[in-house]
Amino acid sequence: MVAEWERQDGESAKAFHAFTIYRDMPANERSMAKTAEKLGVTSSNLERWASPQRWNWVARAAAYDSWRDTMQLTVRESSAVEAQQDILRQEGLEIAMLSQIAAEAMVAYREGAREGHDMLALSRMVNIVERIQTMRRRNVNLPSTYTTKMVDDEINETPVYYAQPEEYHRGSETEDE
């Protein structure tokens, strides 16, 4: 079966060519007068071909517009999926790199802890871990904006960091006020 916007059985090459001129105009500019002008013929000749009883140009052009819109949407969605996959691949590499840096920073912090706390190394490590967590959460569509708090771990006498969603944090601030 032939698509409505393609040449129909029994449609002459000349009639189909005229239809393609009409069909390929932007929908909001499409008219018999403009088609006739482009072809150098009178509108009355085209109206006979375009009539619903003959080749039904209006319905065929509308079907073509619908098909073209569907194809453009499919291409956009496909491009968006490809872009998302590229971003996820890149973020995967970044997560691996940041994980390595965080591991090295933890080792440096532990080694420095014997001689006294290296707050710069600790701060760097926390920032890297936060970035990794944000990227991982974003990759699975979870909230990625968090407030980090430090509390003293009285048992181990070491600082403990934890992340709390900002929405929760903001809500608790409002209740305290």
Q: What is the pLDDT of residues 72-91, one digit of tens each?
A: 888 877 877 777 777 777 77
Whether 63 maps to a domain, the answer reads: no
Other C-beta atoms lying within 10 Å of the C-beta of residue 60 = 19
Whether 79 maps to a domain, the answer reads: yes
Whether 21 maps to a domain, the answer reads: yes
Range of the domain at 164: 145-177
Structural domain total, the chain: 3
pLDDT at 32 over 80: yes
- Residues 29, 87, single domain; the answer is no
Global confidence as pTM: 0.46
Whether 86 maps to a domain, the answer reads: yes
- Residues 165, 138, single domain; the answer is no
Distance of CA 32 to CAs 21, 45, 68, 149, 165, Å?
10, 10, 21, 70, 60
- Give ∠ CA 38-69-43 in degrees, rounded to 5: 20
- Residues 38, 99, single domain; the answer is no
Return the higher-pLDDT residue of 33 and 105: 33
- Residues 167, 109, single domain; the answer is no
Share of the chain above pLDDT 70, in %: 68
Q: What is the pLDDT of residues 98-152, one digit of tens each?
A: 778 777 767 776 676 655 555 666 677 777 777 777 777 776 666 666 555 555 5
- Residues 77, 138, single domain; the answer is yes
> Whose structure tokens read 């936060």?
130
Whether 8 maps to a domain, the answer reads: no
